[in-house]
Structure 1
Amino acid sequence: MTQTWDREVDVLVVGTGGAGMAAAIAAADAGAGVLVVESTGKWGGTTALSGGGLWMPTNPLIAKHGGEDSVDKALTYLEAAIGEAGPASSPERRRAFVETIPEVYELLARLGVRWTASKDYPDYYPDRPGGMVGRGIEVEPFDTKKLGEWYATFRGRDSLPAPLKTDDVWLLSRAWSTPDGFVRGARFVFRTIFGLVRGKRLFGLGSALTASMLTILLKQGVEIRLNTPLTELITDETGAVTGAVVRTAEGTTQRIRARGGVILGGGGFAHNTAWREQHHGVPGYSSASEGDLGDPIRIAEAAGARLELMDDAWWGASVPLPGGDHHQFVLSERSMPYSIVVDSSGERFTNESASYIDFGHAILERNKTVPAIPSWLILDVRHRRRYLFNAFLQGTKKLREAGIVRSADTIEGLAAELGMEPAKLRATVDRFNGFARSGVDEDFERGRTVYDNYYGDPTVKPNPNLGALEKGPFTAVQLVPGDLGTKGGLLTDAEGRAVRADGAAITGLYAAGNTTASVMGRTYPGPGSTIAPAVVFGYRAGRDAAARVKETAATA
């Protein structure tokens, strides 16, 4: 059947997060004509709201800061951290990820991205074979005045409007309680003031990454259309994807031929409540972009794509904020001393300082036998006075009125506030306090690794993550299994090509990022393990789609 088209392009990219923009940059750099469509009225995706770090083993900055890494060392670590996790984390995909990192780094650096190392950030399982400190990288704070009219539709405006870097966070959380925290806080303040004095509008974290990438796309002449969701993939008689149907901002539909392919980078299904209930058993408490509804996954599955890891997400504890629509991700707060996390019965059930995905898995697993949604993060008054707690910046009064935060002068009084048996919570606290004094958590090994210690207080001895809960008033903060997005979706090969149930690649269909099943399997090896593979496999998909354009032209 002869297809009719409203428009033809070399490569059509769906989504404006890290995956989509990396794909578009790579394809355009290879000479392809690229059109990018975004379903919402804002560009940047969940990447713009994120910490913006990329876990990039073998990146050039490691050696610059005195570290040693290699492809084999990184693959050894991935095997130790991930293990067997199915075809999404196959040896071929892992190797493709690691070996492509220097290419991606150099391409984006050549086009204007200003990389910097998160040199103090450890891998999340640093004691396993191949683990080390310093594989994370990020982008220097970016002057968003360079975006011009695109600033008005920048999703990063919903994030922190400050030149914050991921490697600042661990020290800023204790800026008024430790000397090195105070110094880092002073540097951050100086960086902010200096930017303002120079007339800059600096953003850091994921905002800096996405703003840098958009600037590249604009220089490349790539067209970007907002409020233009994908509604259908068009296939030929062989099942190959030849184009797509999109709905325009004006409400009409367009059939777009994509000579090299369609690349899906439109996020996961974090805000699709029905799918979350079906696959995860929870409605979802996500920090992802509101456009994460799973449409690209659904549309690709209808075209024959295989799905994997749909039952998993990039989990982590979150504080549910009043109103129910927003959730504050919790990182350093649960790891700092003078705190514990308990279930509804008043018992600890995991290492509070563990990586966020492990902590999220622990809440979900505990909830199967003892109600743990919500759990409660219990704080000694010293924690409240010494350490930053991001959720409290939303307004403690509102949190108390909603029952999300509760306080009492004694542990027994707090137990009554939480509907727990006072003697049981007291026994839990007393046992933990003994561990805090000895420096060894005999139940869950909290504070054993350098990753645990990263979000700790070195002035607290003998273990920077353990501090006895002895001084009231005591505060309890509600925790739910939040997430940074879902990690299940299309199964793709090493080139980012979507595959069918039989393993055959679907010609002309690519995907990257949270639209796909993650190469990281069911875990989170290090800081930036979401964005790094999104960017790397977006790059590989863009490069391959651009090559298809040339191959097609040569045989036409």
Structure 2
Amino acid sequence: MPANPHPAPSYDHTYDVVVVGSGAAGLSTAMAAADSGLSVVVLESTDKWGGNTAMSGGGMWLPNNPLMKRDDVGDSREEALAYLEATVGEPGAASNRARKEAFVDGVEDFVLTAEKYGVELVRAPDYADYYPEKSGGKIGRAVEVKPFDVKRIGSWWETCQAPVALPVKTDDVWLLGRAWSTPAGFRRGAELVFRAAGGVLRGKKLAGIGAAFAASFVDVVVQKQKTPLWLNAPLEDLIMDEGHVVGVRVTRDGEPLTIEARRGVMLAGGGFDQNKQMRRELQGIEGNPSGAPGNLGRPIEIAYKAGAALELMDDAWWGASIAPVDGHGAAFIVGERSFPYSIIVDGKGERFANESESYVDLGHHMLEHDKDGPYWFIADTRHARRYLRTYAMDPRLNKKMTEAGIMVKADSLAELAGKIGVDPTRLDATVDRFNGFAKAGVDGDYGRGNSAYDRYYGDPLVRPNPCLGPLEKGPFTAFKVVIGDLGTKGGVVTDADARVLREDGSVIEGLYAAGNNSAAVMGRTYPGPGSTIGPAAVFGFRGARHMAASR
């Protein structure tokens, strides 16, 4: 018989499934694969696991989920799909109807399986979809992991990408922002204090939001399912046999290794938000990312070399951020933009968008209006006194921002305009016009406060519009704002089961992708809170289930 032209390599390790990445997509894939009886290894390229997920708000947008059904909150498959069509449309193959249906239909498996292993999921009942007035829009589709005792994962917590352990929940955030200006905010602040104190008294170290997701899933994957998680193990290449992916080449702690993947390889290693060269070439901007430092896009490049189709490489999960300073990354701002007594202006001193709109929309508007900026977030003294500003809580950082010209104060708007380099006449006219809208309760230019999403972060004690308050009382403060992001949206094109596709639509057998390694099912928009992590987790599950059913 003739010699085999593709002899099998000698593998150092063999698993059914190799997962590249340790964020939501990777950990969800590992959980579902092990639940299906498959052997799994999770590879993390850096010395910290959890990726963007551990650093995030931890919410998952999961329409028609089992928690809603238990709470008798009305939702349906039909409404969820109608909403996705109304908001996302079909900008490319990644957002086709089959993928949308797969996402909605995969929610239940993800939720019920996670709960089976002890993950405590809770709803954020007050959080609106980002376009709740559109067909199928709802309030309360967001799901998160309940604050989790990170002591349960022992020394693994020391290598988590999460910056700190605080028992914060998603619905805390909007109320804590006004903790000393509204009774509801004060109550929620007190609840958080008691929650934290109660955890300490019970000998627990509670972490919420993204840290809770990451830690609780590592508890299941690593400790309960006994799946190995390798740190400092970047993917170097795929091993192919006649067009099929059969394994990977990695470097673990500097040692080159080969791993056989009998059922498949899941690429879940994050986007390319930290790769400035790729961003300049593909997006025309280096970006101001808020994600994990290991997001360099290597898995996407490797998949492309293997023949994968790419989409949305010019896009990201955009938003507005306070400019970085002295080693501190850009501070992504969300709720602060909706609080009254504030506006965002361009370098001419003019408004250009609804400051309270979803962060992706605001980011796109900033890109379209002036990619290079500058932009300024301007507020009067009531904004500083009444509301929690996450980006201005550290006096040492405030000093550095002041020295760098990122934080500027002045007693009058005219003086402020001079300090930030905008035309004082134009800024005065902009504020005058905005103040008129604030007193009338209707933003006649950009509709700020019209949507339930805008009002979610507003101040209900400010009337007639909780998002509008006139800028009248000095001193005034301006923060330099840049175009930021929560990660890149572009990646390999996948089908309904997370299988990687070529340009002609054919499947690269044995190769899967989810999370920001894959082109977003959400297209160029952001339908609701957790539209990154929700699909990442669901498509991680779908990929694992498909691997389990194959062969």
2:142 aligned residue: 136
Corresponding residue for residue 172 of structure 1: 176
Q: Which residue of 2 aligns with 1:24?
A: 30
Larger mean CA deviation between 440-449 and 396-405 belongs to 396-405
Q: Which amino acid aligns with 1:36?
A: V
Quick one: distance in 2 between partners of 1:325 and 1:502?
Answer: 44
Could you tell me which of 218, 243, 246 is aligned with 1:242?
A: 246
Q: Distance in 2 between matches of 1:406 and 1:40?
A: 37
Work out the CA distance in 2 between the residues paired with 1:85 and 1:69: 25
1:53 aligns with 2:59: yes
Aligned to 1:122: 128
Q: Deviations over 1:476-529 (max 9, x none)?
A: 011111111001000000000000010001000000000010000000000000
Q: Write the letter of the residue equivalent to 1:27.
A: A
Counterparts of residues 62-101 of structure 1 (less than 5 Å)? 62-101=68-107
User: Which residue pairs with 2:3 in the alignment?
Assistant: none
Give the CA RMSD over aligned residues: 0.9
Alignment match, 2:225: 220
CA apart distance, 1:281: 1.5
Q: Which of 533, 536, 539 does residue 534 from structure 1 map onto? A: 536
**Structure 1 residues without counterparts, runs of 5 or longer:** 552-556
Task: Indicate the residue corresponding to 2:446 in structure 1.
Answer: 444
Tell me the alpha carbon deviations over residues 224-278 of structure 1, each in whole angstroms, 9 at most, x when there is no partner: 11100000001112x11111100011x1211111010110000000000001111
- Which structure 2 residue ranges, 5 or more long, are not aligned? 1-5
Contact 1:11–1:546 (8 Å) recurs in 2: no
- Residue 336 of structure 1 contacts residue 457 of structure 1 at CA under 8 Å; is this kept in 2? yes
Structure 1 partner of 2:199: 195
Amino acid at match of 1:441: D
8 Å contact kept, 1:121–1:133: yes
CA contact (8 A) 2:289 2:329 kept: yes
8 Å CA contact 2:326–2:400 kept in 1: the answer is no
Equivalent residue, structure 2, for 1:554: none
Distance of 1:220 and 1:387 partners within structure 2 = 44
- Work out the CA distance in 2 between the residues paired with 1:110 and 1:129: 33
Q: After the TM superposition, which parts of structure 1 deviate over 4 Å for at least 4 consecutive aligned residues?
A: none
1:389 alignment partner in structure 2: 389
1:231 aligns with 2:236: yes
Pair 1:252-2:261 in alignment: no
Q: Give the deviation of 1:65 after TM superposition.
A: 3.2
> 3-state SS of the aligned residue for 1:546?
helix
1:112 aligns with 2:118: yes
Normalising by structure 2, report the TM-score. 0.97
Contact 2:321–2:482, Cα closer than 8 Å, also in 1: yes
> SS state of the match for residue 325, structure 2?
coil
- State the aligned residue count: 542
CA contact (8 A) 1:321 1:327 kept: yes
2:209 aligns with 205
Q: Could you tell which deviates more after superposition, 413-422 or 319-328?
A: 319-328
How big is the shift at 1:546?
2.3
Following the alignment from structure 2 to structure 1, what is the Cα–Cα distance between the partners of residues 280 and 184? Answer: 44
Distance in 1, Cα, partners of 2:272 & 2:325: 23
Q: Give the Cα–Cα distance (whole angstroms) in 2 for the partners of residues 300 and 246 of structure 1.
A: 14
Find the aligned partners of 2:473 and 2:246 in 1 and give their Cα distance.
Answer: 66
Q: Residues 65 and 119 of structure 1 are in contact (CA less than 8 Å); yes or no, is this contact kept in structure 2?
A: no
Q: Is the 8 A contact 1:121 1:136 kept in 2?
A: yes
- Corresponding position: 1:285 with 2:288: yes
User: Among the aligned pairs, what percent are the same residue?
Assistant: 54
CA distances 1:157-213 after superposition (whole Å, capped 9, x unpaired): x1x421000111000000000011111111111101111111110000010011110
Amino acid at match of 1:545: M
For 1:437 and 1:15, the matched residues in 2 are separated by 50
Whole-angstrom CA distance in 2 between matches of 1:257 and 1:197: 47
Question: For residue 374 of structure 2, what is the aligned residue in structure 1?
Answer: 374
Q: Read off the aligned partner of 1:96 and give its amino acid letter.
A: A
